[in-house]
Amino acid sequence: MPLKINEEQKLALIQAAISVRQWAYVPYSHYPVGAAVLTSSGKIYDGINVESAAFPTTMCAERVAIFKAVSEGEREFDAIAVVTENAGSSCGACRQVMAEFGLETLVLIADTEGNIREETTVSELLPGAFTPKDLPSL
């Protein structure tokens, strides 16, 4: 069952993702993405996409936000908001990283006006996800 967050928390998370988009480094795609993750401790960590001329080394906003939170000791997430101009969905790599920290994490995909275009869970975005339970025990 997905964790429930209230409307005020949803709006704060989306606003954080909207606000941070201005810092996206996107000289190649010109597609700024903002993300914000709400941890179970109640903190919000944001992230933006950072592109590189060596395209495979580009980092998505969702992973930046999650990695910031993890680097501060967070391991449990209630929700993540992803904001783009056209409410584009997260890539496969981001979905896999989200799955690492909770299949029932709420995912809000919104446009730059704050309209939620999709409200789902990580498990719905990545059915059959490979998770730590799939690794052999040592």
**Which CATH number do you get for residue 15?**
3.40.140.10
Of residues 2 and 70, the one with the higher pLDDT is 70
C-alpha dihedral (57, 52, 46, 86), degrees to nearest 10:
-110
Q: Is residue 1 part of a domain?
A: no
Q: Is residue 26 part of a domain?
A: yes
Distances (CA, A) of 61 to 38, 64, 88, 131, 137: 14, 5, 12, 21, 32
Q: Is residue 92 part of a domain?
A: yes
pLDDT value at 38 more than 70: yes
Contact 17, 35 (CB under 8 A): yes
Closest CA to 65 of 84, 44, 86, 83: 44
pLDDT value at 36 more than 80: yes
Q: Is residue 66 part of a domain?
A: yes
pLDDT confidence band for 137 (50 / 70 / 90): confident
- How many domains does the chain divide into? 1
pLDDT value at 80 more than 60: yes
Q: Is residue 97 part of a domain?
A: yes
Q: Provide the pLDDT for residue 108.
A: 98
**Structural domain for 120, as ranges:** 7-125
Q: Is 62 a catalytic residue?
A: yes
Q: Which of 7, 62, 72, 118 is catalytic?
A: 62
Q: Provide the pLDDT for residue 3.
A: 61
pLDDT value at 14 more than 60: yes
The chain-wide mean pLDDT, for the chain, equals 95
